[in-house]
């Protein structure tokens, strides 16, 4: 493993000659937009542990409470703007032959920044699903007009179309994410505590298959020792500069040039 470091020339150089880049993001990428993360000091809402609210059991027992939490989160996200990290990720997308953005975030900020097809592994906070018919629908009212909201067609409770603890990931999205991890040359892991599987396993899948894996985080995580490097710092500071430097290589025609630099 490379020592923890600031932005490094070898990372820029490696990204510059990678054809396949996969980026995995977590709630840390939206933190500078004012969206709370899940752990650390953001771990509670109105004295409830957020991890305990994000379960089917909590919803079944207290649907109005869980929807009030989602209404609070939706209002926060509606006021938030994508930050420099979201925009940098969107700028990197066209520079790679195979680019895949995988996010655990449900806030939709990557799309608002211009990313075209993020794989939303944990769903999207702006959609709801009928608990009876399992049909999904956009639910854009903000604040919600009815708490808890009900299906317009059958009157059953709606639930947020997100993945809760103990629930499987959407199989198509996960399969595409797994393939993107398996086949990429480089993976950036941005603002995730890497504690929630299976998303947290994806960097190790990439590493196992020969990719360079670098995380960008304000602190070390359980995967730090298992990957190539950790860039310690805020995603909104690091990613725009990284994108500028990688894109500048492309502009000078050097992005695809073979290199003798060997970092592993
Ligand atoms: P966490 O709250 O677990 O982790 C956020 C990570 O972002 C931490 O490692 C922070 O150090 C880092 N971080 C905070 N601010 C940052 C910044 N400005 N720049 C870079 N890094 C920063 O959130 P996730 O890893 O996204 O799942 O959590 C994963 C999943 O657990 C979530 O999708 C959610 C949650 O419970 C479900 O709800 C199923």
The whole-number mean pLDDT for each consecutive block of 10 residues of the chain, a chain of 264 residues, reads 58 92 97 88 84 94 96 95 98 96 97 97 96 96 95 97 94 96 97 91 97 96 95 96 92 42 31
Global pTM exceeds 0.85: yes
Angle at 260 between CA 256 and CA 261, to 5 degrees: 95
Distance (angstroms) between ligand 1 centre and the Cα of 132 equals 31
For residue range 27-45, what is the model confidence (pLDDT) as tens digits?
Answer: 999 999 999 888 877 788 8
Task: Give the chain's length.
Answer: 264
Give the separation between CA 67 and CA 141, rounded to whole angstroms. Answer: 13
Question: Is 122 a known active-site residue?
Answer: yes
What local confidence, expressed as pLDDT, does residue 251 receive?
56
Q: Is 38 in the pocket of ligand 1 (CB under 6 A)?
A: yes
Tell me phi and psi for residue 156, to 5 degrees: -70, 165
Q: Where are the beta strands (DSSP E) in 9-80?
A: 20-25, 44-45, 48-49
Question: Interhelix angle for 84-92 vs 235-251, to 10°?
Answer: 30
Tell me phi and psi for residue 120, to 5 degrees: -90, 90
Residue nearest to atom 18 of ligand 1 (CA): 234
What local confidence, expressed as pLDDT, does residue 262 receive?
29
Testing ligand 1's pocket by substitution, the residue of 24, 34, 38, 170 carrying the most ligand atoms inside 8 A of its CB is 38
DSSP H or E stretch at residue 87: helix 84-92
Distance (angstroms) between ligand 1 centre and the Cα of 253 equals 36
What Rg, from alpha-carbon coordinates, does the chain have? 19
Atom of ligand 1 nearest to the CA of 192: 25
Query: Which residues does residue 162 pair with via DSSP β-bridges, in sequence order?
Result: 123
């Amino acid at each position: 493993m490379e020592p923890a470091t600031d932005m490094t020339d070898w990372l820029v150089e490696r990204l510059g000659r990678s054809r396949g880049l996969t980026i995995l993001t977590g709630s840390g990428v939206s933190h500078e937009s004012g969206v709370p993360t899940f752990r650390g000091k953001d771990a509670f809402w109105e004295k409830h542990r957020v991890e305990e609210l994000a379960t089917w059991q909590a919803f079944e027992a207290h649907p109005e409470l869980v929807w009030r939490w989602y209404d609070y989160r939706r209002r926060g996200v509606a006021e938030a703007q994508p930050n420099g990290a979201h925009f940098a990720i969107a700028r990197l997308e066209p520079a790679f032959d195979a680019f895949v953005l995988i996010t655990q975030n449900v806030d939709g900020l990557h799309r608002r920044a211009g990313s075209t097809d993020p794989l939303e592994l944990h769903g999207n906070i702006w959609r709801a699903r009928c608990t009876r018919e399992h049909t999904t629908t956009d639910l854009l009212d903000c604040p919600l007009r009815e708490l808890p909201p009900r299906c317009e067609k059958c009157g059953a409770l709606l639930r947020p179309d997100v993945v809760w603890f103990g629930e499987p990931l959407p199989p198509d999205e996960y399969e595409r994410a797994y393939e993107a991890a398996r086949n990429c040359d480089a993976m950036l892991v941005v603002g995730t505590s890497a504690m929630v599987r299976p998303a947290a396993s994806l960097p190790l899948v990439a590493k196992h298959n020969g990719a360079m894996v670098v995380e960008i985080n304000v602190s070390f995580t359980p995967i730090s020792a298992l990957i190539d490097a950790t860039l310690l710092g805020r995603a909104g500071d690091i990613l725009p500069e990284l994108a500028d430097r990688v894109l500048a290589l492309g502009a000078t025609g050097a992005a695809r040039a073979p290199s003798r630099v060997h970092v592993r």
